[in-house]
Chain A
Amino acid sequence: QVQLQESGPGLVKPSGTLSLTCAVSGGSISSSNWWSWVRQPPGKGLEWIGEIYHSGSTNYNPSLKSRVTISVDKSKNQFSLKLSSVTAADTAVYYCARGEIAAAGTSTYYFDYWGQGTLVTVSS
């Protein structure tokens, strides 16, 4: 059973950089999956931030692309998120999730495993 666990500071100052790590257990980060970050502001909906493949290939949400970096550490079986120049609007629960490609060569892709989420508050 694959498990994902987010970790990182729960409080970040405005204009600072938010840094989170997602540790993967019960499976290999080098499997044929994409690894995503999704966030949810308090009381609001879900927003996809971006994803990484074990090769290092990334896709980012254009709305955040200038501020986001997602990286992978295969030796530690984990991947990370950095979001720079944060403001109060970046306050949210941040989830990591596994993207499963159900059929190669198609766009049949879904998030089948999620971390429990971690609340990050941007405040001075």
Chain B
Amino acid sequence: DIQMTQSPSSLSASVGDRVTITCRASQSISSYLNWYQQKPGKAPKLLIYAASSLQSGVPSRFSGSGSGTDFTLTISSLQPEDFATYYCQQSYSTPRTFGQGTRLEIK
């Protein structure tokens, strides 16, 4: 199985801040990396697919980059509705594995 490791596990930030979350794969996964946002009591929501492609309807303040084993999700200017938990997920092979999540909290 491909292991996905996110850092940090939690993060405190303020509205307007620029935030970066990192995801590392245990082996190269090319650009087959997706990012999801999950709010309490809700299903995950797709933000970014194929490492850097923005899902339709997702604000442009979200961006993704990386290839191989190292990936980042960046939120350019945090908005109140962005405080949530973020997960990366690899689609290179089955089993489809997720990172452990990064909880983004209000400072």
Q: How many A-B Cβ pairs are below 8 Å?
A: 67
Known: A45-B87, A45-B101. A112 touches B95 (CB 8 A): no
Residues of B within 8 A of A111 (CB): 34, 36, 44, 46, 89
Residues of A within 8 A of B55 (CB): 110, 112
- A36 interface hit (Cβ, 8 Å): yes
Main secondary structure of the interface of B (DSSP, over half): loop
Question: Across the interface, do B43 and A46 meet the contact criterion of CB distance under 8 Å?
Answer: no
Question: Across the interface, do B98 and A36 meet the contact criterion of CB distance under 8 Å?
Answer: no
Point out residues on B near A: beta carbons under 8 Å.
Answer: 1, 30-32, 34, 36, 42-46, 49-50, 53, 55, 87, 89, 91-101
Q: Which 9 A-B pairs have the closest CB atoms?
A: A114-B43, A109-B91, A110-B49, A61-B95, A48-B96, A46-B98, A107-B32, A110-B34, A59-B94
Known contacts A97-B43, A111-B46, A112-B46; 16 additional CB pairs below 8 A are A45-B98, A46-B87, A46-B98, A51-B94, A59-B94, A60-B95, A61-B95, A107-B32, A107-B92, A108-B32, A108-B91, A110-B46, A110-B49, A110-B55, A116-B42, A117-B43
